[in-house]
């Protein structure tokens, strides 16, 4: 029992006034019985003790405690909101690092393709050089054969030989024709040798140029490979660092949540308010999930049937192409986020995120979802968000309409996120690792002032 200092002495009248009515009535009855019983009060039955009666000070302290807890609830709620904002910033910074790494990967692929093509050209030039060398050898062999034959047979193809060796006018004409044939053959052999030498010189020049180009392309590919490796190393390092920071934030948040729960549990009224709020949140979540399932199933049905939205509300308005783009995106609601996942054909295996996630996850990242949605309208988009921003016409955010792509960036960092505006102040997105494709209100934090319109 807690010690309480004795109250200051009061008069008998004051003490009687502070007693409850039932207690004063019992005291009067006891006195009357004692007076009437002539001193036999020992046999009188004593009244039951009263229940605890908190004093005015205790009641005030209880009210003050509730007030202090209510203030703490407000302070902790504000702290939780700040932690949520910090988590969003960390996710945005990580997404920017990953976009940079993926863009470097695209550059590497382009450089490798160019190096492969240059190598093929160098191989073709080398084959041409080899063919020219063979042609020279063959032409030289023919000329050598002609000279050898002329020497071995002792044929005099000069004018003196024609006159001295001929035996008749007919023999002279025949010898002249034969000498002319030999002269033409000799000229042809010499001309073939010269052409073969020219062809080889040209082939050698082309081969050297192709080889130099191949070496340059290979150097570019090595540079791009180094840039991609550095970008991926930076992304993985950033992922680990961000994971540590997010773990610290999560631990702080958990501690704050425990204190918030304790503060709410201390007062029944606040606990009831939280219960009503939780019920409301769960009801809203169920309704939202039901709406999303209905939208997803309806959109999937329209995509499978190849028909645009018919008789739908104006919330998703626009042309049939825009409606098909929106339907294809809506049909993927609930598909998990996978960094680097998604093609024009649907969800796909992504890129390992450096956080120990399984390597065989299939899903979409933000730009992959756009690839799939717009492929339904025969629109081919670049792979990463920052390149998709430049894939169409820019329109002010105040003039956006369904089918426009909206983009996000964090401060001076590059663009790290893209979503599809579907009308009625809503957008569909593949947000971040651990989440799924979802429909949410259009966020304004980090939103670029211009959207991109391709339809």
Sorted by sequence, the CB contacts under 8 Å of residue 87 that are 6+ apart come out as 246, 249
The residue to which tokens 């932690």 are assigned: 83
Catalytic annotation present for 177: no
Strand ordering across the sheet containing 393-396 = 393-396, 450-453, 405-409, 415-423, 426-429, 438-441
At residue 78's C-alpha, the angle toward residues 75 and 84, to 5°, is: 145
- C-alpha of 315 from chain center: 27
Given a contact cutoff of 8 angstroms between Cβ atoms, the answer to whether 316 and 423 are in contact is yes
> Using CA atoms, how far apart are residues 229 and 104, in angstroms rounded to an integer?
8
Sorted by sequence, the CB contacts under 8 Å of residue 72 that are 6+ apart come out as 259, 260, 263
Kindly list the distances between the CA atom of residue 191 and the CA atoms of 150, 157, 179, 226, in Å, as whole numbers in the listed order.
18, 19, 18, 52
At residue 207's C-alpha, the angle toward residues 201 and 212, to 5°, is: 130
Coil, strand or helix at 67: helix
* Residues 103-126 as b or e (16 or more Cβ within 10 Å = b): bbbebbeebbebbeebbebbeebb
Catalytic annotation present for 241: no
> Using CA atoms, how far apart are residues 343 and 383, in angstroms rounded to an integer?
9
Give the Cβ contact number of residue 95 at 10 Å. 26
Catalytic annotation present for 366: yes
Q: Which is catalytic among the residues 102, 264, 316, 366?
A: 366
Residues with catalytic roles? 366, 417, 429
């Amino acid at each position: 029992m807690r010690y309480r200092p004795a109250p200051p002495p009061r008069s008998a009248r004051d003490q009687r006034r502070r007693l409850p009515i039932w207690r004063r009535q019992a005291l009067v009855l006891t006195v009357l019985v004692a007076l009437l019983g002539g001193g036999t009060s020992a046999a009188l039955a004593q009244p039951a003790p009263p229940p605890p009666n908190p004093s005015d000070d205790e009641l005030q302290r209880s009210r003050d405690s509730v007030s202090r807890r209510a203030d703490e609830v407000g302070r902790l709620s504000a702290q939780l909101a700040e932690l949520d904002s910090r988590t969003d910033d960390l996710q945005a910074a990580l997404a920017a690092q990953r976009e940079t790494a993926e863009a470097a990967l695209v550059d590497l692929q382009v450089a490798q393709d160019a190096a492969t093509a240059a190598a093929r050209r160098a191989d073709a030039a080398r084959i041409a050089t080899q063919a020219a060398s063979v042609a020279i050898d063959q032409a030289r062999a023919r000329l050598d054969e002609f000279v050898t034959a002329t020497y071995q047979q002792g044929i005099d193809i000069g004018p003196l030989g024609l006159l001295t060796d001929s035996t008749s006018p007919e023999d002279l004409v025949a010898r002249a024709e034969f000498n002319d044939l030999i002269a033409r053959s000799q000229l042809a052999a010499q001309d073939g040798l010269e052409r073969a030498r020219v062809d080889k010189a040209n082939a050698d020049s082309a081969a050297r140029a192709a080889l130099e180009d191949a070496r340059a392309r290979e150097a570019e590919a090595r540079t791009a490979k180094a840039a991609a490796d550095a970008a991926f190393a930076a992304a993985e390092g950033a992922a680990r660092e961000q994971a540590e920071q997010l773990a610290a934030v999560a631990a702080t948040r958990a501690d704050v949540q425990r204190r918030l729960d304790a503060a709410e549990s201390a007062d029944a009224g606040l606990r009831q308010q939280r219960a009503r709020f939780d019920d409301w949140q769960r009801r809203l979540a169920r309704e939202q999930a039901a709406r999303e399932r209905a939208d997803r199933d309806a959109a999937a049905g329209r995509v499978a049937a190849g028909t645009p939205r018919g008789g739908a509300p104006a919330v998703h308005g626009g042309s049939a192409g825009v409606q098909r783009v929106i339907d294809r995106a809506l049909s993927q609601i609930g598909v998990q986020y996978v960094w680097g996942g998604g093609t024009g054909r649907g969800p796909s295996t992504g890129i390992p995120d450096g956080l120990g996630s399984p390597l065989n996850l299939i899903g979409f990242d933000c730009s992959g979802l756009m690839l799939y949605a717009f492929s339904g309208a025969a629109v081919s988009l670049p792979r990463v968000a920052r390149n998709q921003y430049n894939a169409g016409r820019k329109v002010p955010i105040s003039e956006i309409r369904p089918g426009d792509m909206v983009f996000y960036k964090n401060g001076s960092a590059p663009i790290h996120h893209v979503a599809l505006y579907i009308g009625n102040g809503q957008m569909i997105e593949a947000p971040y690792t651990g989440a799924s494709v979802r429909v949410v209100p259009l966020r304004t934090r980090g939103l670029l002032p211009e959207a991109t319109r391709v339809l």
